[in-house]
């Protein structure tokens, strides 16, 4: 579900409560399209510090209050420096949402270079690929924006320094707040909106600003009407009921009565809203830990920021990591494609050498029976002294039989040499392909810039990227660490996020009696469980296996086979690729790649 007007309304309500009167203490720009404001305020005689995240990402635009700290670039971008210059230490005097649109406006009061009191505005537009953060003066002249939009990009509205700020083009929709306040609102809703030739829910969300399809279906559901029902088939009573539910919902929002929730199916978040989505079920009656595998319904949250952070936390990380790793993914994908084609060709050529022994036998039979061949014969029929069956051997009528036999021996020797060479090459190509797929898996696991930097260093070292790394300098720059989990029984479990970390875990961190886990015959992370010299409980074995399954290429499979053994049984062949190990003594289990309930150490 995208951010609709009701969600923005709830965000503005929370921001007003927390930030009005507060001072902008720090401004960061951790991403090219994201800002973080640290705002200090005093509420109810208590000092508070709030961290506001504003993202103009084309895929996931967001504004919410977060406690999490993000890594910032060593040098602040120009837009960040400009905001620090103008509104650093400024006081937030107003936050509002114009016309129930997906726009949040921050009005900031500050002192200019002459010590005079000035006002500036920050427009945060949360509109998908058109999202932007625009900084203006008190007369709405654009000072700068996080994304510049020229006439070549958009002929409708330019967003450039020196231009007048204008709102995005209106969509000719009704403002729900004024709709329920006006005496004519009921008539407009019942006799105009429902005249559109479409489904009931679509008529609502295409006519009323800030209402998403999910919310329109919820309103219809509360009124006892199918949201997919055509407007032409609605009775006057049904239209009245839909408006009544719409009025109740918007009226509750105006009073600040929110029911922040996420709808879950098992562990999967399906939708979220600032009102109870009864179409997806009910809130739980007890305080059971949610979500869980058997749960289908609504999980309540105290604030909309908690909802947004919970719903988007993994999506946003995955989206940004994919953007940052585009170049590395392209290099690895091209290498995988090239190596796979090479392996297919080698396997095809290897299969062609299967007939080499036939040529050897032909040569031996000609040497044994060739004395009976007359000049000009085109074949030799004789008994194969290996199988005892009669065979027919093609002959070249232009050559003596013994010369033909020599040619068969030459073919045999050539195919034999090809077989011996390809037998080694296919093994090497298979190992290289497995290695590259393990790097691709590492890119999927990567969660920070340091993780990507470590993978890049690995690819440089392996020769897939041209470059040179100074060992001492690289080690200082790369601070990426393996994932750390605690089992339900209190044992430390470590997961390597790339091949360098896998080797470090297996051959440096782990001792002989520690347990080692890995997905069977597929790329994946090494998982090490520190046993502390004790026998591990079955539950810890299962949790470690679940981690190994989840951090492998089989994470989307119903079950994954996992090999596990003591670390002392793991060996690394000489000159092998990073992360490659062998073992001959192990146990196996099949388990679901589900890590919910396993506590991660931050």
Same domain, 209 and 351: no
Predicted pLDDT of residue 2? 66
Is 451 within a domain?
Answer: no
% of the chain residues with pLDDT over 90? 78
CA Rg value for the chain:
34
pLDDT digits 0-9 by tens, 542-581: 999 999 999 999 999 999 999 999 999 999 999 888 999 9
The dihedral formed by the CA atoms of 545, 546, 551 and 553, expressed in degrees to the nearest 10: 90
Is 155 within a domain?
Answer: no
Q: Does position 474 have pLDDT exceeding 80, yes or no?
A: no
Confidence at 172, pLDDT banded by 50, 70, 90:
confident
Strands 91-96 and 34-43: unpaired
DSSP string, 51-91: EEEEE--SS--EEEE--------SS--HHHHHHHHHHTT-E
pLDDT digits 0-9 by tens, 495-546: 999 999 999 999 999 999 999 999 999 999 999 999 999 999 999 999 999 9
Same domain, 266 and 337: no
Give the DSSP H/E element, type plus range, for residue 435. Answer: helix 401-445
Q: Which CATH number covers residue 408?
A: 1.10.287
Is 242 within a domain?
Answer: yes
CB 526 within 8 A of CB 502: yes
Predicted pLDDT of residue 551? 96
Strands 483-486 and 599-601: antiparallel
Answer with the one of 282, 303, 324 that is the final residue of a domain.
324
Task: Tell me how far apart the alpha carbons of residues 12 and 63 are, in angstroms, rounded to a whole number.
Answer: 9
| Structural domain for 18, as ranges | 5-145
CB 587 within 8 A of CB 520: no
Closest CA to 536 of 493, 581, 481: 493
Is 84 within a domain?
Answer: yes
Q: Does position 473 have pLDDT exceeding 50, yes or no?
A: no
Q: Does position 351 have pLDDT exceeding 50, yes or no?
A: yes
Same domain, 199 and 266: yes
Same domain, 567 and 582: yes
Task: Tell me how far apart the alpha carbons of residues 232 and 240 are, in angstroms, rounded to a whole number.
Answer: 14
Backbone angles phi and psi of 36, in degrees to 5? -130, 120
Q: Which CATH number covers residue 310?
A: 1.10.8.50
Same domain, 241 and 135: no
- Measured between its terminal Cα atoms, the distance across the chain in Å is 29
Is 128 within a domain?
Answer: yes
Q: Which CATH number covers residue 67?
A: 2.30.310.10
**What is the total count of domains within the chain?**
4
Average pLDDT over the chain reads 92
Is 450 within a domain?
Answer: no
Same domain, 178 and 317: yes
Same domain, 208 and 295: yes
pLDDT digits 0-9 by tens, 100-112: 999 999 999 999 8
Confidence at 8, pLDDT banded by 50, 70, 90:
very high
Answer with the one of 324, 343, 370 that is the final residue of a domain.
324
Answer with the one of 270, 296, 324 that is the final residue of a domain.
324
For the segment 297-301, the average pLDDT, to the nearest whole number, is: 91
Same domain, 77 and 216: no
Torsional sign, CA 313, 319, 320, 325: positive
pLDDT digits 0-9 by tens, 371-409: 888 888 999 999 988 888 999 999 999 898 999 999 999
DSSP string, 92-158: EEEEE-GGG-SEEEEEEEEE-TTS-EEEEEEEEE--GGG-EEEEEETT-BEEEESS-B-TTT-SS--
Lowest mean pLDDT among 87-96, 203-212, 286-295, 548-557: 286-295
Strands 46-55 and 34-43: antiparallel
pTM, full prediction:
0.78
Same domain, 216 and 179: yes
* 3-class SS of residue 457: helix
pLDDT digits 0-9 by tens, 423-432: 999 999 999 9
Predicted pLDDT of residue 333? 95
DSSP designation for 492:
E
Q: How far is CA 222 from the centre of its chain?
A: 35
Is 112 within a domain?
Answer: yes
Is 456 within a domain?
Answer: no
Q: Does position 286 have pLDDT exceeding 80, yes or no?
A: no
For the segment 430-437, the average pLDDT, to the nearest whole number, is: 93
- Cα angle 326-330-331, degrees, rounded to a multiple of 5: 120
List beta partners, residue 599.
486
Task: Tell me how far apart the alpha carbons of residues 272 and 11 are, in angstroms, rounded to a whole number.
Answer: 13
Confidence at 468, pLDDT banded by 50, 70, 90:
low
Same domain, 279 and 232: yes
Predicted pLDDT of residue 448? 85
pLDDT digits 0-9 by tens, 127-147: 999 999 999 999 999 999 999
Same domain, 319 and 335: no
Predicted pLDDT of residue 478? 53
Mention every residue, 6+ apart, whose C-beta is less than 8 A from residue 575.
Answer: none
Same domain, 420 and 487: no
């Amino acid at each position: 579900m995208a951010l609709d007007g009701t969600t923005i309304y709830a965000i503005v309500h929370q921001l007003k409560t927390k930030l009005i009167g507060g001072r902008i203490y720090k401004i960061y720009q951790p991403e090219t399209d994201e800002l973080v404001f640290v705002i200090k305020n005093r509420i109810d005689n208590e000092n508070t510090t709030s961290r506001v995240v504003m993202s103009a990402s084309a895929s996931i635009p967001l504004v919410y209050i977060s406690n999490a700290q993000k890594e910032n670039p060593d040098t602040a971008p120009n837009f960040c420096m400009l905001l620090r210059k103008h509104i650093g230490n400024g006081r937030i005097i107003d936050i509002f949402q114009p016309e129930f649109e997906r726009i949040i406006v921050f009005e900031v009061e500050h002192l200019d270079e002459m010590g005079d009191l000035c006002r500036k505005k920050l427009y945060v537009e949360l509109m998908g690929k058109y999202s932007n953060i625009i900084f203006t003066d008190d007369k709405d002249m654009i000072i700068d924006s996080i994304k510049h939009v020229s006439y070549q990009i958009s002929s409708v509205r330019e967003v450039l320094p020196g231009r007048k700020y204008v709102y995005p083009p209106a969509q000719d929709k009704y403002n729900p707040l004024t709709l329920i306040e006006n005496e004519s609102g009921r008539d407009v809703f019942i006799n105009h909106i429902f005249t559109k030739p479409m489904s009931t829910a679509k008529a609502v969300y295409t006519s009323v600003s800030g209402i998403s399809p999910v919310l329109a279906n919820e309103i219809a559901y509360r009124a006892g009407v199918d949201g997919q029902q055509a407007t032409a088939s609605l009775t006057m009573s049904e239209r009245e009921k839909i408006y009544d539910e719409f009025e109740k919902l918007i009226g509750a929002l105006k009073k600040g009565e929110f029911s922040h929730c996420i709808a879950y199916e098992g562990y999967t978040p399906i939708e979220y809203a600032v009102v109870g989505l009864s179409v997806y079920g009910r809130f739980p009656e007890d305080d059971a830990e949610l979500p869980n595998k058997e749960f289908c319904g609504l999980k309540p949250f105290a604030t909309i920021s908690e909802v947004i952070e919970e719903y988007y936390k993994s999506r946003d990380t995955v989206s940004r990591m994919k953007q940052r790793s585009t170049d590395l993914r392209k290099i690895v994908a091209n290498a995988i494609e090239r190596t796979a084609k090479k392996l297919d060709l080698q396997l095809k050529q290897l299969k062609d050498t299967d007939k080499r022994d036939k040529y050897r036998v032909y040569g031996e039979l000609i040497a044994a029976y060739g004395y009976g061949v007359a000049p000009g014969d085109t074949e030799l029929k004789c008994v194969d002294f290996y199988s005892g069956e009669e065979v027919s051997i093609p002959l070249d009528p232009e050559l003596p039989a013994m010369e033909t036999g020599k040619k068969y021996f030459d073919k045999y020797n050539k195919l034999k040499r090809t077989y011996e060479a390809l037998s080694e090459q296919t093994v090497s190509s298979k190992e290289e392909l497995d290695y590259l797929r393990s790097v691709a898996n590492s890119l999927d696991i990567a969660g920070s810039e340091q993780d990507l930097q470590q993978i890049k260093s690995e690819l440089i070292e392996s020769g897939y990227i041209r470059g040179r790394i100074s060992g001492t300098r690289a080690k200082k720059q790369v601070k990426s660490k393996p994932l750390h989990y605690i089992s339900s029984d209190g044992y430390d479990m470590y997961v390597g996020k790339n091949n360098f970390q896998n080797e470090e875990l297996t051959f440096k961190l782990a001792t002989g009696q520690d347990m080692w886990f890995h997905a069977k015959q597929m790329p994946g992370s090494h998982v090490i469980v520190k046993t502390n010299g004790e026998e591990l409980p079955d539950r810890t074995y299962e949790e470690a296996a679940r981690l190994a399954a989840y951090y492998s290429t089989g994470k989307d499979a119903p079950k994954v086979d996992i090999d596990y053994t003591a670390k002392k049984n793991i060996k690394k062949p000489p000159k092998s690729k990073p992360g490659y190990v062998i073992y001959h003594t192990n146990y196996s289990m099949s388990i679901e790649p589900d890590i919910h309930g396993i506590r991660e150490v931050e």
